[in-house]
Amino acid sequence: MAHTHSTPTNLHVIYEDNHLIVINKRAGDIVQGDKTGDAPLSDVVKQYIAKKYNKPGAVFLGVVHRLDRPTSGIVVFARTSKALTRLNKLFSERKTQKTYWALVKKHPSQEQATLTHYLKRNTKQNKSYAFAKAVPDSKEASLTYSVIKKLKTFTLLEIDLHTGRHHQIRSQLTAIGSPIRGDLKYGFDRSNKDGSISLHARKLTFIHPVQKEKMTFIAPLPKGDTVWEACEE
């Protein structure tokens, strides 16, 4: 079963106004263009805006942050350069609250815990390794997880990120022996049928860059996956 990619007609828009647009990314969508040459989500959103608002010429769209390709969930794009500058500042200064949901096979030893590791990135492997103590070129990574639901085979965790490191959640959960379902790169025993990993950017809170109101967005879980669907029962 291959990925169902987002297109201008099936795009899952959570919210949009004149300044920003919030998308529920499908696993397999690539946020920004890379060496694969696959059409990035940013291009799909531009096409959607051009068609919906009948905009001739180039559509402005700013990429504010990214999600790993095999993950799903909330991605925010800026629709104006002013919003992009302000959103970039919010994200870089970590004035956002990001909550993820992850399905893991091995139930963690604690129902709730804050994990702190030192992550060292290997760019050749596109992978981050977690260490208990600082090693050369490592960066401190911290998150808090709590168990939300125990399914038959898997456990649903809610994760609040305190730092934004490369593959942080994937690497830190593997370090405690609970790799994410489908994540072969980080030690899970088999891949998901659609090539996804069961990590979902569930909730995002930040102050609107122009209206200055606090906004919270929630991304519905991926459809067509029985394990994710069991989480909502």
- Active-site positions read 68
**231: part of which helix (H) or strand (E)?**
helix 226-231
Residue the block writes with tokens 């690497």: 171
Residue 56 one-letter amino acid: P
Any bridge partners for residue 63, and if so which? 77
Residue the block writes with tokens 């981050």: 128
Q: Which of 163, 161, 199, 207 is nearest to 20 (CA)?
A: 207
Residue 63: strand, helix, or coil: strand
Tell me the CB-side half-sphere exposure of residue 147, using CA atoms within 13 A.
Answer: 15
In terms of DSSP bridges, do strands 62-63 and 72-78 run parallel, antiparallel, or are they unpaired?
antiparallel
CA 190 to chain centre: 21
Phi, psi of 169 (to 5 degrees): -65, -45
